[in-house]
Structure 1
Amino acid sequence: MALPDLDTSVGHSFGLEFDGVVIKQITEVTGLKMEQDVIELKQNTNDGKYVVKKLPGRPKAGEVTLTRGLTADQSFEKWIKDSRFGKMADSRKGGAIIVYDYEGNAIKRYTLVNAWPKSLEIGSLKAGDTSVLTEKVVLTYESMDVA
């Protein structure tokens, strides 16, 4: 069920889907954006005035950072190992970041095309600390579609 025009979604209900598997344990998504180059066209008008027009250029590839609590799940580690050893046919995946409404229905889907992990970072290990240990994976992707 879509939200009415005047309602907005809450930012805490989302998940990650790759290879048909939904991971809802993701705690943070940052850097999700669509961007393109800007081309400046400089020219003179018929009456001799100098103008600069801005035109849309090529789309840019992007990067998104996903954070989750450290678990026994080895999927992020396996995925980055495949990309580190050049198994790009296995590493490039299509997937989506899905935003859910208050009833758990998907309301927005950010589909990533040819995404693969660039880096994996484990949160700091500190003696006596009681905070949750996290892992961050940075995905690079060629394009993003929004549905």
Structure 2
Amino acid sequence: MALPDLDSSVGHSFGLEFDGVMIKNITEISGLKMEQDVIDLKQNTADGKYVIKKLPGRPKAGEVTLTRGLTADNSFEKWVESAHFGKMADARKGGSIIVFDYEGIAIKRYTLTNAWPKSLELNALKAGDTSVLTEKLVITYEEMKPAA
């Protein structure tokens, strides 16, 4: 769905979809970016001046961190387990991070290629604490592209 030219989108909720499995209720996503190396080309011009040109290099792999409230859903744990035991054929997946608007309609997708879980972390467990327990999943990926 295209956004109007002058409107900014407000991400009300986020989801993760891999192999047709949708995980919703993600509360925070950080580190999602496209990046590439920069190559310095040092040369002399025709009139003898020394110049440095910046050229685009190889794309860089990245990492993204997803945070959600702790639930009975163990899909994150299963995915991490397959990577920890070296079952990379099962662990490497292609999928998308999805931004939903206030009506739950997907407004933007970011496609991740050959993504696998690097780590899973629970926030501090404190007896008597009234804060929400969360889990953070760090996913490493080889390529990220905004979906058309």
TM (norm. structure 2) is 0.95
Give secondary structure in 2 for the equivalent of 1:82: helix
Query: How many aligned residue pairs are there?
Result: 147
Give secondary structure in 1 for the equivalent of 2:94: strand
Deviations 1:6-59 (A, max 9, x none): 011102332111111221111110000000000000000000000000000000
Q: Write the distance in 1 (CA, Å) between the matches of 2:24 and 2:84.
A: 26
Listed as ranges, the matches of 1:112-127 within 5 Å are 112-127=112-127
Match of 1:144 in 2: 144
Listed as ranges, the matches of 1:98-137 within 5 Å are 98-137=98-137
Q: Write the distance in 2 (CA, Å) between the matches of 1:141 and 1:67.
A: 17
Deviations 1:50-79 (A, max 9, x none): 000000000000000001111111111111
Q: Write the distance in 2 (CA, Å) between the matches of 1:113 and 1:42.
A: 34
**Structure 1 residues 139 and 91: alpha-carbon distance in aligned structure 2, compared to 1, 3 A threshold:** same
Confirm or deny: 8 A CA contact 1:3 1:101 kept in the other structure. Answer: no
Gaps of 5+ in 1: none
Deviations 1:70-107 (A, max 9, x none): 11111111111110111000000011011123433222
Give secondary structure in 1 for the equivalent of 2:76: helix
Q: Write the distance in 1 (CA, Å) between the matches of 2:95 and 2:127.
A: 37
Listed as ranges, the matches of 1:28-67 within 5 Å are 28-67=28-67
Q: Which amino acid aligns with 1:89?
A: A
TM (norm. structure 1) is 0.96
Give secondary structure in 2 for the equivalent of 1:25: strand
Match of 1:72 in 2: 72
Matched-pair identity in %? 82
Q: Which amino acid aligns with 2:115?
A: A
Give secondary structure in 2 for the equivalent of 1:137: strand
Confirm or deny: 8 A CA contact 1:27 1:67 kept in the other structure. Answer: yes
Gaps of 5+ in 2: none
What RMSD in Å do the two structures reach over aligned CA positions? 1.1
